[in-house]
Amino acid sequence: MELHSQTPPALFPAGVADGDTVVYGPDIADEGSLRLLGTVEGRRILELGVGSGRNSVALARQGAKVIAVDPDPDRLESARALAERHDVKVEFHQGDLADIAFVRADTVDTVLTVHALATVDDPDRVFRQVHRVLRTEAAMVMSVPHPAWDLIAPDSDDPMRVARSWFDASPRVTSGPDPITYPTTFGGVFGGLYRAGFRVEVVLEPEPESSGPRSRWWHDAMRMIPATLVLRVRKVGL
């Protein structure tokens, strides 16, 4: 079972126009700086979890053929409206992130998922499906809430206090766009990717931007503890 918000989430970064570039998390560098996707023009890209639709629209504006999946009808409605506003075509589908049987095997050039896997209680199932649809040696770029960030309670009177055990796998109730999230560990993420047939090639724990407007998710604790873990992994050839 997957649990998700009934309200489209706000944008991660402040001061960046919708559909300008791909973003990976609150108040960190975007694709313009990280350059994890490379050239996307003409490529078939699957996005799992659309948020406000900004990443799908940004990719479509750069010439990608975008398929976007999200379980939440409200998010999809907002994403469709954004695509219409920018006059780009995105193929939207409502469904759980692992329910991508409609995508044929070995036909996708890149998969992108930004913080959406935090809402999934069985990410290994998603990894297996992503492996099926990706072409051999194609990449998935993904971000998840950093496991260390899950240990603290940034909204509390003592935001740097360790409030949760690293080993506590119970769902978290959050103030973010998804009210229920599932924590993970480095071992959980890397183990699931390895079992699904991926090679990890980039691991980033970005510091927040040093200046500029802040998103609604900003906490001063982000200066001390990374809030987002960003990975690029590649489907291993047989």
- The pLDDT of residue 4 is 33
Question: Is residue 16's pLDDT more than 70?
Answer: no
pLDDT of residue 10: 43
pLDDT surpassing 70 at residue 193: yes
Provide the whole-model pTM: 0.90
At 154, is the pLDDT very low, low, confident or very high (cuts 50, 70, 90)?
confident
Half-sphere exposure of 206 (CA within 13 A, CB side): 22
Query: What pLDDT is stored for residue 172 in this prediction?
Result: 83
Rounded Cα–Cα distance for residues 28 and 12 (Å): 9
Strands 172-173 and 108-114: unpaired
Q: What is the pLDDT at residue 216?
A: 86
Give the dihedral sign, CA 45/14/18/39: negative
Contact 16, 36 (CB under 8 A): no
The sign of the torsion formed by the CA atoms of 90, 96, 102, 105 equals positive
pLDDT surpassing 60 at residue 11: no
The neighbour count for residue 36, using CB atoms within 10 Å, is 20
The mean pLDDT value of the chain amounts to 90
Count the Cβ atoms, other than its own, within 10 Å of residue 139.
Answer: 23
> Domain 31-235 in CATH: superfamily?
Vaccinia Virus protein VP39 (3.40.50.150)
pLDDT over threshold 70, residue 63: yes
- For 66-115, write each residue's pLDDT tens digit: 999 999 999 999 999 999 999 999 999 999 999 999 999 999 999 999 99
Query: What does the chain look like in DSSP terms, one character per residue?
Result: -B---SSPPPPSSSS--TTSS---STTS--HHHH--S---TT-EEEEE--TTSHHHHHHHHTT-EEEEEES-HHHHHHHHHHHHHTT--EEEEES-TT--TTSPTT-EEEEEEESGGGGBS-HHHHHHHHHHHEEEEEEEEEEEE-TTGGGB-TTSSSTTSB-S-TT--SPEE-SSSSSEE----HHHHHHHHHHHTEEEEEEE-PPPPSSS---TT--GGGGTS--EEEEEEEEPP-
